Amino acid sequence: MSSSTESSTKAIFYALGANGGIALAKFAAALFTGSGAMLAEGIHSLADCTNQVFLLIGLKEAKKPADVSHPMGYARVVYFWAMMVALLLFFVGGAFSVMKGIEHLSHPEPISNPLVALGVLGISVVLEAFSLRGAMVEIRKISHGKPFMQWFRETRQSELMVVAGEDIAALAGLALAFAAVLLTVITGNPLWDACGTIAVGALLMIVAVLVIREVKAMVTGESAAPEVHAGIKAQIEAHPGVANVRNLISMQWGEQVMIAVQAVMQPQPSDVALVDTINQIEAQIQERWPQVRWCFFEPDHPPRG
């Protein structure tokens, strides 16, 4: 298991453990108190648990060996499962919460035992913060010092990006739900609870749209991370057998990377020497970037004047 896959798997299990316990506590509290914001949070946590199971399925399927129908393997299947997670987060987590909030606006009901709801929300914040901390630790291992938002935009690890997005949305949603319940207790107005439910749903939908946008780029065929693409090009051009790189195409394939190179070569004494030079360049690339699974190299000559 590569370090990136190991980081993703750890982060997913952190989130699954935290969200499983949180979902049970929230549903119990929602039943006990009648809080719409608490029910929305319970549905959100249950959706998160399902999301983590989907991501684990994706990581498992991605390990299937290549076959005739999939000669480059199944690594990109993780993007499909990440998209399923984003859609589930949007519709089940976000849209359902908004609908429940609108329903509570039309028929507001007082919250019974609000201290129970506040206590469960407080505990949930601690557990969700633990999950987010675990995800951030794994992200720092592979982000090479990038700020989080830059890493989020540039990462090709859809599963880790989804977990981080979920955890951030969960913490912000818990803060909104806590504030909604607290304001309901202070003012005695149950409309605050309904507004909190709608706010939680809207937040989840915003995060889901951001995740969908990033996963869409991967599904449609995104290049390798910018620093990897630039580094590969620089290493090829630095080789004494290469005059310049005319074109370099890189494509992220799950964890792996495919590159296609068109390079103007320096004159070689024979065709055997040319092939040896190309093989040496490819070996150096794969030694420095082990994730480069496929390298297609097209040698060219300078334009004839």
pLDDT in tens, 163-174: 888 788 878 888
Residue 304, pLDDT score? 67
Residue 41 banded pLDDT, cuts 50, 70, 90: low
The 10s digit of each residue's pLDDT in 95-135 is 888 887 888 788 777 767 777 878 888 888 888 888 888 88
43-52: average pLDDT:
79
pLDDT at 2 over 70: no
Give yes or no for a contact between 247 and 283, defined as CB atoms under 8 angstroms apart: no
Give yes or no for a contact between 267 and 302, defined as CB atoms under 8 angstroms apart: no
Q: SS3 for 246? A: strand
Q: Are strands 256-265 and 292-300 parallel, antiparallel or unpaired?
A: parallel
Residue type at position 258 = M
Q: Whole-number mean pLDDT of the chain? A: 84
- Global pTM reads 0.73
The 10s digit of each residue's pLDDT in 239-251 is 999 999 999 999 9
194-209: average pLDDT:
86
Residue 19, pLDDT score? 80
Residue 235 banded pLDDT, cuts 50, 70, 90: very high
The 10s digit of each residue's pLDDT in 63-97 is 888 888 888 888 888 888 888 888 887 777 788 88
Give yes or no for a contact between 261 and 295, defined as CB atoms under 8 angstroms apart: yes
DSSP letter string over 16-80? HHHHHHHHHHHHHHHHHH--HHHHHHHHHHHHHHHHHHHHHHHHHHTTSPP-SS-TT-STTHHHH
Name which of 236, 238, 241 is nearest 259 in CA terms. Answer: 236
CA distance 299 to 246: 10
